């Protein structure tokens, strides 16, 4: 029976998933990111130190194991950034910096499942880390990579919302609210609980006055696809050096994206991101028409996630929630694939004693890169054509003197040789398209 939050796609959906993963992988590699895979488990203390709540971490232990002490408990990783930071620390002597890597792996979170939100899901991450300092231009590159990924897929337009925690923290500090982390966490709930409850929570948990809470909400209302957000923040009358730094950085991200990919990036000053390790730029991505489902791709800059002694390894990264993205699109029937199997050609079997000859034809086609299967039984040819048709397979091959191949969609049948016949490029592999 199904287990809630652990998706299992049917083969056509899995083919769509693999198509999407191939596009993601090839785009990441076009930008020079190298592949990496880290272990699925980390010490629980490592996971807990990075801002995740203990109730969302799955523990790993043997069925008969005595209760483990907290020192040696292992948990399944809840994202790919924390294990990546640990990997960098352990292998920094073997890596060339700045180190650009991508990871495409499953992660696990014990949260309440709902549409597009799972307990086991696939993520695709890119990060750049450096020793001691990381130039800011890497922050401006991240949205461009993701923009290229999403433009290569038959999905609705992606809008990447960007903010900078320095803008928020500097603004809160300039207002006279010292517990900036608490204010950030509270404002991050704006879409979930609304402005009135956020204002009340700021007064209750962050020690804000009504006027300070109102100013925090004013900042969160600012949104712009160009540099106009800077003047709108200035108009709120708050000053702080950290605020100035954040505005300058955020402006660079927005202006770089506007030059290379107009319409891709929007400055959205309510974006905060829930994880504690982000220190500067933060990203969230929504699909046009699917905004109600929230972000399908997010990340940001972190300065202190990884360190060895006095050496820090600052980084910036962004993660595509592949299962989340696909789950939402599958739920709306927004993606289709042209056939339910990879097969392009079925070789018909005239009689069982001629099966070995049919196998030789299939082998010759496969050697030339044409996905081929042999019909399962020597039924009447009408039934063998039906077998192909039900699976969306476009061609049936009839052995004979000479051999012929039939496009069962158009009914056209032509003489063919397994040594040189090639289907049109559009038919060779299943085609993924918008539903």
* 268-to-138, 163, 305, 368 alpha-carbon distances in Å: 20, 6, 24, 51
Rounded distance, CA 307 to CA 324, Å? 31
Quickly tell me which residue has 């974006």 as its tokens. Answer: 271
What is the spatial distance between Cα 228 and Cα 244, in angstroms, rounded to a whole number?
15
Sheet strands (E) in 41-157 = 41-43, 59-60, 74-76, 99-108, 120-129
Q: Which residues define the annotated binding site?
A: 79-81, 109, 123, 127, 273, 277-278
How far is it, in rounded angstroms, from Cα 126 to Cα 35? 9
Q: Which two tokens stand for residue 152?
A: 């290569």
Looking at residue 98, what DSSP letter applies?
Answer: S
Residue owning tokens 């996971």: 47
C-alpha angle 183-189-194 in degrees, rounded to nearest 5 = 110
Residue 240: CB atoms within 10 Å:
17
Q: Which positions ≥6 away from 53 have C-beta within 8 Å?
A: none
Element at 250 (helix H, strand E)? helix 241-260
Tokens of 292: 């109600």
How far from each other are the two terminal CA atoms of the chain, in whole angstroms? 28
- Categorise residue 15: left if φ over 0, alpha if ψ from -120 to 50, beta otherwise: alpha
Which alpha helices (DSSP H) does 67-189 contain, by range?
A: 81-91, 137-151, 165-175, 180-187
d(CA 90, CA 102): 18
Residues in the chain: 435
- Contact between 134 and 312 under an 8 Å Cβ cutoff? The reply is no
User: Among residues 416, 113, 150, which one has the least CA distance to residue 263?
Assistant: 150
- The CA-atom distances, in angstroms, between 130 and each of 27, 50, 313, 386 are 22, 19, 5, 58
Binding site as annotated, residues for L-histidine: 79-81, 109, 123, 127, 273, 277-278
Residues linked to residue 75 through DSSP beta bridges, in sequence order: 42, 59
């Amino acid at each position: 029976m199904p287990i809630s939050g652990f998706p299992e796609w049917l083969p056509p959906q899995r083919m769509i998933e693999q198509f999407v993963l191939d596009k993601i992988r090839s785009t990441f590699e076009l930008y020079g990111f190298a592949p990496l895979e880290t272990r699925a488990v980390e010490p629980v203390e490592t996971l807990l130190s990075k801002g995740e709540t203990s109730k969302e971490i799955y523990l790993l232990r043997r069925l008969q194991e005595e209760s483990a002490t907290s020192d040696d408990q292992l948990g399944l990783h809840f994202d790919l950034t924390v294990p990546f930071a640990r990997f960098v620390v352990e292998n920094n002597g073997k890596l060339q910096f700045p180190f650009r890597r991508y990871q495409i792996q499953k992660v696990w979170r014990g949260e309440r499942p709902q549409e597009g939100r799972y307990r086991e899901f696939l993520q695709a991450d890119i990060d750049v880390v450096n020793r001691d300092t990381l130039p800011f231009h890497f922050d401006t590159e991240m949205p461009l990579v993701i923009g290229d990924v999403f433009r290569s897929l038959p999905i609705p337009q992606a809008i990447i919302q960007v903010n900078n925690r320095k803008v928020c923290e500097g603004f809160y500090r300039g207002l006279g609210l010292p517990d900036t982390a608490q204010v950030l966490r509270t404002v991050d709930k704006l879409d979930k609980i609304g402005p009135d409850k956020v204002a009340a929570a700021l007064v209750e948990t962050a020690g804000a006055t009504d006027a300070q809470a109102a100013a925090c909400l004013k900042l969160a209302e600012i949104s712009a696809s160009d540099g106009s957000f800077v003047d709108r923040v200035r108009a709120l009358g708050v000053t702080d050096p950290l605020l100035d730094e954040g505005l300058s950085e955020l402006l660079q991200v927005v202006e770089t994206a506007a030059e290379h990919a107009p319409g891709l990036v929007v400055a959205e000053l309510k974006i905060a991101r829930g994880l504690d390790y982000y220190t500067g730029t933060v990203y969230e991505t929504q699909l046009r028409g699917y905004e109600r489902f929230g972000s399908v791709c997010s990340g940001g800059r972190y300065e202190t996630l990884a360190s060895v002694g006095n050496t820090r390894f600052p980084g910036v990264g962004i993660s595509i929630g592949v299962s989340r993205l696909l789950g939402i699109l599958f739920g709306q029937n927004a993606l289709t694939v042209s056939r339910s199997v990879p097969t392009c050609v079925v070789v018909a079997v005239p009689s069982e004693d001629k099966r070995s000859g049919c196998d030789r034809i299939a082998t010759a086609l496969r050697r030339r890169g044409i996905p081929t299967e042999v019909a399962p039984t020597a039924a009447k040819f009408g039934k063998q054509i039906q077998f192909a048709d039900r699976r969306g397979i476009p061609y049936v091959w009839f052995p004979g003197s000479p051999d012929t191949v039939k496009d069962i969609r158009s009914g056209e049948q032509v003489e063919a040789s397994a040594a040189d016949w090639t289907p049109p490029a559009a038919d060779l592999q299943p085609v993924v398209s918008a539903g």
